[in-house]
A and B are shown apart, each in its own frame.
Chain A
Amino acid sequence: MTPLDTLYLASAATLAAMLVLGDWRRAGVLATLMYGVQLALLFTMQRTGSTSFDLSALGFELSWRFDALSWFFAVVTLGTAFFASWYGAGEWLRAYTGRRRLFQSALAANVFAMLLLLGSGDLLTLFVGWEATSWAGFLLMALAGGLARDAALRYLVYAMAGAMALLGALVVLFQAGGSFSYEAARATLAAMAPGPLWALIILFGLGFGAKLALLPLHLWQAAAYSETPAPGSVFLGGVVGRMGLFALALVLVGLIGIPHLQALAVPFTFLTAQDVVAWVAALTVVLPTYTALKQNDARYLLAWHGIGQGGYMLLGLIVGSALGSAGGLLHVINYAATQATLLMVVFGVRHRVGHTDLNRLGGLVARMPLSFLALLLGIISLAGLPPMSGFVSKWMVYSSLIQDGRPFLFLAAIVGTLGTILSVYKLIHNLFLGQLRAEHEQLNEAPLSMLIPMLATATLAFVTGVAPGLVLGWVADAQAAIGLPVIDYTLGGIASPRASLDMLWVVGVMFAGFGVGALLFYGAGGKTHRVHQLDNYAGGHFLDAGMRYHYSDNFYAGLMHLIGGWYRGSFHWLEGAIGSGLSLVAQGAGGWYRAINPAFYLLAASVALIAWVAL
Chain B
Amino acid sequence: MNVASLLVELVLMPLVAFVVGLAMVLMMRRIAARLQRRVGPPFFQPLFDIVKLYGKHTQTSHGLVHDLGIVMAVGGYIAAETMLPVPGMTGIADKGGLVVLAYVMMVPSLGLALGVGQCANPNGSIGISRALTAMLAYDVPFIIVIFGVAFHFGSSNLITIAAAQQAAGIAGWGVSQMPLLALAGLFALHGMLGKQPFEIYVAPAEIATGPMVEMSGKHMGGLFVMQCFQLYTAAVLYVTLFLGGGENWLSFLAKSFAVLAVPVSLAYLFPRYRTEDLVRLMWKWPTMIGLLGLAFLMH
Residues of A near any B CB (own CB < 8 A) = 362-363, 365-366, 372, 376, 380, 384-386, 391, 395, 398-399, 402, 405, 407, 410-411, 414-415, 418-419, 421-422, 425, 428-429, 433-436, 492, 497-502, 505-506, 509-510, 512-518, 520-522, 524-531, 533-539, 549-551, 555-559, 561-562
Q: Which B residues are CB-close (under 8 A) to A422?
A: 132-133, 136
CB pair A415–B279 under 8 Å, yes or no, is no
CB pair A518–B75 under 8 Å, yes or no, is yes
Partner of B225, one of A497, A502, A520: A520
CB pair B132–A509 under 8 Å, yes or no, is no
A499 to B160, CA, bound (A): 11
A498 to B58, CA, bound (A): 51
CB pair B61–A500 under 8 Å, yes or no, is no
CB pair B61–A410 under 8 Å, yes or no, is no
Which of B121, B225, B280 has the most CB atoms of chain A within a 10 A radius of its CB? B121
Let me know if B213 is at the binding interface, CB within 8 A: yes
Counting from the closest, the 10 A-B pairs by CB-CB distance are: A517-B75, A433-B117, A558-B275, A525-B54, A513-B78, A514-B75, A513-B79, A551-B122, A513-B75, A517-B74
Smallest beta-carbon distance B49→chain A, Å: 13
Partner of A506, one of B10, B58, B95, B140: B95
Smallest beta-carbon distance A388→chain B, Å: 11
CB pair A529–B104 under 8 Å, yes or no, is no
- 18 further A-B pairs in the complex, CB-CB below 8 A; given A386-B104, A415-B136, A520-B74: A365-B63, A365-B118, A407-B291, A411-B143, A498-B154, A498-B157, A500-B157, A505-B96, A517-B71, A518-B75, A524-B54, A525-B55, A526-B57, A526-B59, A531-B62, A550-B122, A558-B133, A559-B136
CB pair B100–A386 under 8 Å, yes or no, is yes
A553 to B93, CA, bound (A): 41
Q: Which B residues are CB-close (under 8 A) to A512?
A: 10, 78-79
A561 to B275, CA, bound (A): 10
CB pair B157–A418 under 8 Å, yes or no, is no
A325 to B129, CA, bound (A): 35
A513 to B92, CA, bound (A): 13
Q: Which A residues are CB-close (under 8 A) to B60?
A: 528-531, 535
Partner of A528, one of B14, B67, B156: B67
B109-161 interface with A by 8 A CB criterion: 110, 113-114, 117-123, 125-126, 128-130, 132-133, 135-136, 139-140, 143-144, 147-148, 150-151, 154-157, 160
A313 to B136, CA, bound (A): 23
Let me know if B77 is at the binding interface, CB within 8 A: yes
Let me know if B72 is at the binding interface, CB within 8 A: yes
Which residue in chain B gives the minimum CB-CB distance to A514?
A: B75
Partner of B95, one of A500, A538, A557: A500
CB pair B74–A501 under 8 Å, yes or no, is no
CB pair B56–A429 under 8 Å, yes or no, is no
Which of A385, A518, A521, A534 has the most CB atoms of chain B within a 10 A radius of its CB? A521
Smallest beta-carbon distance A589→chain B, Å: 49
CB pair A537–B121 under 8 Å, yes or no, is yes
Q: Which B residues are CB-close (under 8 A) to A525?
A: 53-56, 59, 217-218, 221
Q: Which B residues are CB-close (under 8 A) to A405?
A: 151, 298
Q: Which B residues are CB-close (under 8 A) to A372?
A: 65
Given contacts A513-B76, A558-B279, contact A499 B119 (CB under 8 A): no
Let me know if B28 is at the binding interface, CB within 8 A: no
CB pair B147–A510 under 8 Å, yes or no, is no
CB pair A533–B62 under 8 Å, yes or no, is yes
Given contacts A516-B14, A526-B56, contact A539 B208 (CB under 8 A): yes
B216-239 interface with A by 8 A CB criterion: 217-218, 221-222, 225
11 A-B pairs with CB atoms under 8 Å apart are A385-B103, A500-B97, A513-B74, A525-B218, A526-B58, A528-B218, A531-B62, A536-B119, A537-B123, A558-B133, A559-B133
CB pair A418–B218 under 8 Å, yes or no, is no
B258-280 interface with A by 8 A CB criterion: 274-276, 279-280
Which residue in chain A gives the minimum CB-CB distance to B61?
A: A528
Which of A391, A411, A529 has the most CB atoms of chain B within a 10 A radius of its CB? A411
A314 to B155, CA, bound (A): 24
Which residue in chain B gives the minimum CB-CB distance to A552?
A: B125
Let me know if B73 is at the binding interface, CB within 8 A: yes
A559 to B279, CA, bound (A): 8
Let me know if B70 is at the binding interface, CB within 8 A: yes
Partner of B104, one of A506, A535, A551, A556: A506
Let me know if B214 is at the binding interface, CB within 8 A: yes
CB pair A499–B157 under 8 Å, yes or no, is yes
Q: Classify the interface of chain B: helix, strand, loop or mixed.
A: helix
B29-68 interface with A by 8 A CB criterion: 53-63, 65, 67
Residues of B near any A CB (own CB < 8 A) = 10, 14, 53-63, 65, 67, 70-80, 82-83, 92, 94-97, 99-100, 103-104, 106-107, 110, 113-114, 117-123, 125-126, 128-130, 132-133, 135-136, 139-140, 143-144, 147-148, 150-151, 154-157, 160, 208, 213-214, 217-218, 221-222, 225, 274-276, 279-280, 291, 294, 298
Partner of B151, one of A380, A402, A550: A402
A386 to B222, CA, bound (A): 22
Which residue in chain A gives the minimum CB-CB distance to B274?
A: A558
Q: Which A residues are CB-close (under 8 A) to B147?
A: 402, 407, 410-411
Q: Which A residues are CB-close (under 8 A) to B214?
A: 536-537
Given contacts A386-B107, A407-B147, A510-B76, contact A433 B114 (CB under 8 A): yes
Which residue in chain A gives the minimum CB-CB distance to B117?
A: A433
A524 to B222, CA, bound (A): 11
Q: Which B residues are CB-close (under 8 A) to A561?
A: 276
A435 to B123, CA, bound (A): 12
Q: Which A residues are CB-close (under 8 A) to B114?
A: 376, 428, 433
Smallest beta-carbon distance A275→chain B, Å: 15
Partner of A398, one of B99, B148, B217: B99
CB pair B135–A418 under 8 Å, yes or no, is yes
Smallest beta-carbon distance B255→chain A, Å: 25
CB pair B151–A530 under 8 Å, yes or no, is no
CB pair B103–A391 under 8 Å, yes or no, is yes
CB pair A509–B279 under 8 Å, yes or no, is no
Which of A391, A549, A559 has the most CB atoms of chain B within a 10 A radius of its CB? A559
A556 to B217, CA, bound (A): 29
A372 to B65, CA, bound (A): 10
A551 to B77, CA, bound (A): 28
Which residue in chain B gives the minimum CB-CB distance to A557?
A: B129
Which of A414, A515, A527, A530 has the most CB atoms of chain B within a 10 A radius of its CB? A414
Partner of B280, one of A395, A410, A539, A562: A562
Partner of B71, one of A434, A502, A518, A534: A518
Q: Which B residues are CB-close (under 8 A) to A407?
A: 144, 147-148, 151, 291, 294, 298
CB pair B59–A411 under 8 Å, yes or no, is no
Given contacts A419-B136, A422-B133, A502-B95, contact A521 B55 (CB under 8 A): no
CB pair B276–A506 under 8 Å, yes or no, is no
Which residue in chain A gives the minimum CB-CB distance to B94?
A: A500
Q: Which A residues are CB-close (under 8 A) to B103?
A: 384-386, 391, 395
Q: Which B residues are CB-close (under 8 A) to A521?
A: 67, 70-71, 74, 218, 222
CB pair A549–B121 under 8 Å, yes or no, is yes
A82 to B295, CA, bound (A): 50
Q: Which B residues are CB-close (under 8 A) to A558?
A: 129-130, 133, 274-276, 279
Given contacts A509-B10, A525-B59, contact A380 B96 (CB under 8 A): no
A514 to B107, CA, bound (A): 11
A443 to B63, CA, bound (A): 18
CB pair B99–A551 under 8 Å, yes or no, is no
CB pair B65–A433 under 8 Å, yes or no, is yes
Q: Which B residues are CB-close (under 8 A) to A526?
A: 54-59, 217-218
A421 to B131, CA, bound (A): 12
CB pair B59–A537 under 8 Å, yes or no, is no
A492 to B92, CA, bound (A): 13
Which of B10, B67, B75, B126 has the most CB atoms of chain A within a 10 A radius of its CB? B75
Smallest beta-carbon distance B226→chain A, Å: 9
Q: Which B residues are CB-close (under 8 A) to A363?
A: 120
Partner of A559, one of B59, B100, B139, B276: B276
